[in-house]
Each structure stands twice: as C-alpha cells, then as structure tokens.
Amino acid sequence: MDTMLAGRFHLDSKKFAVEEVPIPVPGPGEVLIQVKAAGVCLSDVHLLDGSLVPMFATSDTVTVGHEVSGVIHTHGPDLKRGLPVGTRVTLEAGKTCGTCAGCVRHRPCTQMLTAGIDYDGGWAEYVIAREDTLIPIPDSLPFDQAAIIPDAVSTPYAAVVATAGVRAAQSVGVWGVGGVGAHNVRLARLVGAAPIIAVDPLPGARERALAFGADLALDPAAPDFADQVRAATGGRGLDFAFDCAGVPAVRDQAASVLGLGGSLILVGITPRPLTITEGLTFNYLQKQVRGHYGGFPESVSELVQLTAAGRLDLAPSITDHIPLIDAANAVSRLENKIGDPIRLILVP
C-alpha cells in the first residue's frame, strides 16, 4: 500500500476533506511516524473557519493536526539520535525553520513553524517528523493522552511555569475552561496556586473546573462577579489572570480584577485587537499584560516525565475517540461545543 487517508485543508478554496494521498517518504534527518492518535484543537477549528491564517505555509494544501502520537515506522537517512523503529513517541507541535544554526532553543523564534498549519500535521495515517521533534513516551502512557500533551497541556504548562512563573499560594484566575483552560486549572494547582478561580459561562465547564482543582467557579455574567473575586482573594485581587478563551471581553474583565502587580496572561489567540478599558488604576496598581504562544521545547518532555511519575493524570481529559474518516464531524462537535468536550481524539 502506498497511499493513506489524511485530513487535508486547501488554503485557496478554504475546503477541508479527508482524502487519499501518497504516504510521504522521510528525507534526511526525518522519520515516518505511524499515527496512533491525534487531538482536535480549537486552533484547528480556527484554521478551517479562516480566523487563523498560516504565517509560513509551505504549500497551498496542508494536512491538519498538531497534537500527534504514534510509533516510528521508517527511518530517513542521516539520523543522529538512533531511536529504533517501533519507538513510541509524541511530537512537538512545531519546529524551527532550520535556517539559523542552533535556533531550536531560541524563544521566541520568528520563523517557528506549526504542524498542521504551516506544514503537514498528523490528521493522517502517517506523518513525517524531524527527529529533533520526537519525544519518546513510556509504555504506561496511552497514545491518546500522549497526543494532547504537545499543545492542550504544554501551552498552559508553559504559560503557568514560564510566562507567568506562578509560585505557591499566589492567586490565579482562568477564563475559559475548555481544552486548554481545563489543563491551566490543573497545572496551576500542581504548582500550588491558591486560590484558583475558574470563569466560564457554561455550567458544565464550571463543574469540570471544580473537578479539575479549582477552588471556585464563577459565571462571568454574575452581577457580583468582581465582589466574589475580591472575597476569594481576601480583597487583594488576582496575582495572575489567564485568558484561555481569546475573547476581548474576557481580557477586559480579567484585567479589571487583577491586584497590585498582577498580570494578565494571553493564552488564547484571536486576531481581534487587545483593548483594556481600565484607566488610572491599571497604572496605579502596576498591572501587566503578557503575551503567550504555545509551549516551549522542554515543556513536552517535562510533561511526559510528570505523567509517567503519576503527578498528572490526563485520562479525564479525553472526551471521545473518533475515526479519522469522520474528522469533519469532530470539528463540528468541538466548534459547537456538543457534549462540552475537553479533547476529541482522531484515530486512524
């Protein structure tokens, strides 16, 4: 067999379809991965609806999917790491362009390419991966859980431990408790944040946030919202507010309940302008706004270690498994929040 199924997005026509395409052949420094699981992310939805435009697209058609796990199937030439065929791996969600020596560890890199957006990703039976993007996973870590680490978990992980640098006993608010926000809550608890306040308009999402470790879950439309935040933080306001929704109104509300020296961390992405309507008190309280994008190269390997050590159980994050051929249905379920999914997994 020399063909496979792949979920392909045509950038010119904005059409998505699961198509039969040739199985790719790995080049120098690359391996062919047999995909076992691939996550469906809101970024994938944004790509397909046109609100996320590839910055460094390498072709006019791309295989979607940046949350991928599988096994090494075929070696390309000139490999350096020597990972054998059959090794279980998850893939970092992006790679550097490779034009500058050693830039794989630079943060940020203006030429960071994202799998499934700028180059072919893992909504397929097989995918090509550069060997430096492979993270071996233990036999004890299921493929579906390993697949979501490179974005759904590593993005909020890097936001919490690196961009924000949350310390024990600092107060944290998380707006939007979906695929990324739910893990933001869990990771904030892992580092000892207290209290953790989850904010979401959906009752089911608020219940999930409490199950995932939030101390309080609030409806952003509650008339006494700000009073509840102040009461929960002893009148101080939040040390950190994480916007995991990418919604301008969320950012404005989150900034308004920050305390002295508090920071708004922009985890969710949106093409819409950032606006802060707060006036003098933003300056007086020395508040900050920090941009954040994705995980860092070390995030995935650290999270694999944490799951292997039993510090993080990702089983509750897997909402459903869907055949690859039904990828469009999975996108619709996530886009319309059918069943309030955390992560849907495509299985070739």
Output the six-digit token pair for 52: 């996320």
| Residue whose structure tokens are 């097989």 | 126
Output the six-digit token pair for 288: 């900050």
Does a cis peptide bond (omega within 30 degrees of 0) precede residue 138? no
CA dist 94 and 78 (Å) reads 21
Look at residue 273 in the predicted model and tell me its pLDDT: 87
| Composition of the chain by helix, strand, coil, percent to 5 | 30, 30, 40
CA dist 207 and 283 (Å) reads 35
CA dist 129 and 3 (Å) reads 18
Pairing, β 30-40 against β 126-130:
antiparallel
CA dist 287 and 254 (Å) reads 11
| Residue whose structure tokens are 């708004």 | 264
In DSSP terms, 124 is beta-bridged to 6
Output the six-digit token pair for 13: 């026509």
In DSSP terms, 263 is beta-bridged to 240, 288
Alpha carbon 230 to its chain centroid, in Å, reads: 30
CA dist 119 and 56 (Å) reads 8
Look at residue 19 in the predicted model and tell me its pLDDT: 97
Local mean pLDDT, 10-residue blocks, the chain (348 residues): 94 94 96 98 90 82 96 95 94 69 45 83 96 95 96 96 97 95 97 98 94 97 97 98 94 96 94 87 95 87 94 95 97 91 95
Helix (H, G, I), strand (E, B) or coil at 158: helix
Output the six-digit token pair for 211: 């199950």
**Strand boundaries in 148-287, DSSP class E:** 172-175, 196-199, 216-218, 238-243, 258-266
Look at residue 81 in the predicted model and tell me its pLDDT: 87
CA dist 319 and 232 (Å) reads 31
Helix (H, G, I), strand (E, B) or coil at 341: coil
Look at residue 96 in the predicted model and tell me its pLDDT: 63
CA dist 323 and 11 (Å) reads 24
Look at residue 97 in the predicted model and tell me its pLDDT: 56
CA dist 227 and 185 (Å) reads 21
Look at residue 107 in the predicted model and tell me its pLDDT: 46
CA dist 223 and 214 (Å) reads 21
CA dist 114 and 291 (Å) reads 18
Cα diameter, the chain: 66
Contact in structure between 131 and 83 (CB atoms under 8 Å): yes
Pairing, β 3-10 against β 15-22:
antiparallel
Alpha carbon 240 to its chain centroid, in Å, reads: 19
CB atoms within 10 A of CB 300: 26
Please state the φ and ψ torsions of residue 112, each to the nearest 5 degrees: -80, 120
Look at residue 59 in the predicted model and tell me its pLDDT: 86
What predicted TM-score, i.e. pTM, was given to this entire model? 0.90
